[in-house]
Structure 1
């Protein structure tokens, strides 16, 4: 092999490695059949800080689904709307929403899916870039059913920030216990709608995850049941599905949230755990939601404290202030109910 050929192949390999998408290796768990409260939890797994902040959005916020950090990224027919509902969200890099709960009791979680393909841009449909997809739903929908109808009226558009593509799929749930998973496969939305869809992780696509889970016999659970234990998305999906069906009936909201977080912690990725081809993607934080009583919980993996926000203590009326809390830089100063510790922002983010 000549030096020129060798250099060509080395360059090709390096380009492939650097072009490989980063994997947002997260887990979402929904416990909607405990007869006390509909609760959910999720993990955020990422190779660096996503610079998360908690933001309170009132209703009446005007948004443009085609703008990213002040730049127009959807040139033709971007979706524009004024939020109908207030929400509490966790942001990613200060440019989008990755998780949140609105005042109507609708929860949304954005997780990474490598198989995502939003399709070619169709300017006949209003476009919303993927970083605002979750916020669009929280702003406008009060239930899973309404969220699905609204999502069908827009086209989600791929966006890239910090050198990473927003190849996302969404998990939705509401206070009735309804649930849905929305993925874009081969350019078309694929929806799984029903209370039975309690767990979501990452690749492979949801149809295949369900098929793999169906091939496992969890009918006689015991301490000797062979259980997938690795940190890949397939194993986390199966492990979380196993445990969510074994949770004892809670006696209080505290126990219900603790149960959901226990499964999220079990599906979390420890520091130093290797992912094939992608390096280390430990869990950065976990969130939990009580959709029945409208409380939102947040837990950094590098902090000993769990904080929560009581949505009933917040002002979501049109014209109220946009508020922000930075749990990442104040972890030791924050604990328990932080609903009154938010600070006003001069202007809405995104």
Structure 2
């Protein structure tokens, strides 16, 4: 194996740590969501992610185009007219008015879990069961259900996101909503990327904010926290260990596969090849449809029957946002440069699992009516 190849692998897994012997015992079996940022190709910088959730947790995803100037109240849904209470947080949650428009995937009719704003900043929330948020204090509270939307609404670059969180003028707090079908809190971590190729992973470990900032942080799945995940990856042959490339759907398995296969992507000759290549990488980590009664002998538990609900690709260079609902064969997209994000513009939406929807999303978008 060449020194150049070794260096490439060290870049993919920047900041590797020695792996404690007891670390594997702490790894969650949770299987939910994968992300890869292809930021080293000339044609476009593209981040792809999958949304994987248990079959027993209906997500009801909605593809939404939000204009600028929207008043946000993090006590309820990000969608106007959805009557839902955010639980687990006191009344002093943050309010703001969006500075930027965005296209986003809204899960459970209440929280933006993925999106791209008009400045070319992408944000993605993925499950992290081991997330341990900061202790209560008197700072304004941002429910973690609204973390992704807050970032898309307010920031243009990864550095701005990192600076705002390091300034610590607000506190992320655990939240859920029985009204929206989230009867318990799901811990999350946040990944952000921008058109320069910059990237950051933000997570809370043992009550402290940990930020991994730099273009080398290109892969993210779920538990354990990022430092431990990178350490575990060293156990596999592609990164210096002895274990063969894994093929299961666990978070560590998906992380290692994405990190390994990301090295083999060819330099695309066309823009279409760039988008297709990013999607092809993500497919190595997607989870096929699964019957809960056939998983682990019918005793799968909450995370046992996870499957991919949808995938997205955010082209940060050209500001095009792609979505493919896993329940349909068609791909839809929206060119944010062609969208009216002006204050007072209509909020638009569509159902990404509608089999009649495909191609340019503007053809199918409808005005959101308050309910």
Q: 1:127 touches 1:154 (CA, 8 Å); kept in 2?
A: yes
Q: Does 1:343 align with 2:361?
A: no
Q: 1:257 touches 1:289 (CA, 8 Å); kept in 2?
A: no
2:38 to 31, 34, 37: 31
1:155 to 160, 171, 184: 171
1:62 to 71, 82, 100: 71
The Cα shift of 1:303 comes to: 1.0
Paired residues, number: 321
Q: Structure 2 stretches of 5 or more lacking a match? A: 1-27, 78-82
Q: 2:31 touches 2:250 (CA, 8 Å); kept in 1?
A: no
Q: 1:28 touches 1:264 (CA, 8 Å); kept in 2?
A: yes
> Compared with structure 1, are the counterparts of its residues 214 and 72 closer, same or farther at alpha carbon in structure 2 (3 Å cutoff)?
closer
The Cα shift of 1:71 comes to: 3.3
Q: Deviations over 1:153-185 (max 9, x none)?
A: 321111123223131101110000000000111
* TM-score normalised to structure 2 length: 0.82
Q: Deviations over 1:233-263 (max 9, x none)?
A: 0000000000111100012221111111112
> Compared with structure 1, are the counterparts of its residues 132 and 24 closer, same or farther at alpha carbon in structure 2 (3 Å cutoff)?
farther
Q: Does 1:45 align with 2:49?
A: no
The Cα shift of 1:22 comes to: 10
- Mapped to 1, the partners of 2:209 and 2:67 lie a distance apart of 29
- Mapped to 2, the partners of 1:120 and 1:215 lie a distance apart of 34
> Compared with structure 1, are the counterparts of its residues 72 and 263 closer, same or farther at alpha carbon in structure 2 (3 Å cutoff)?
closer
* TM-score normalised to structure 1 length: 0.86
- Mapped to 2, the partners of 1:241 and 1:24 lie a distance apart of 17
- Mapped to 2, the partners of 1:189 and 1:297 lie a distance apart of 31
- Mapped to 2, the partners of 1:205 and 1:199 lie a distance apart of 13
Q: Structure 1 stretches of 5 or more lacking a match? A: 1-20
Aligned to 1:204: 224
Aligned to 1:309: 334
2:324 to 277, 299, 303: 299
Q: 1:39 touches 1:289 (CA, 8 Å); kept in 2?
A: yes
Query: Equivalent residues in 2 for 1:1-350 (5 A)?
Result: 23=30, 25-48=32-55, 49-67=58-76, 69-71=83-85, 73=87, 74-122=89-137, 124-151=138-165, 152-161=168-177, 162=181, 163-218=183-238, 226-272=244-290, 274=295, 277=301, 278-328=303-353, 330-331=354-355, 333-347=356-370
The Cα shift of 1:271 comes to: 2.0
- Mapped to 2, the partners of 1:219 and 1:157 lie a distance apart of 36
Q: 2:76 touches 2:110 (CA, 8 Å); kept in 1?
A: no
Aligned to 1:3: none
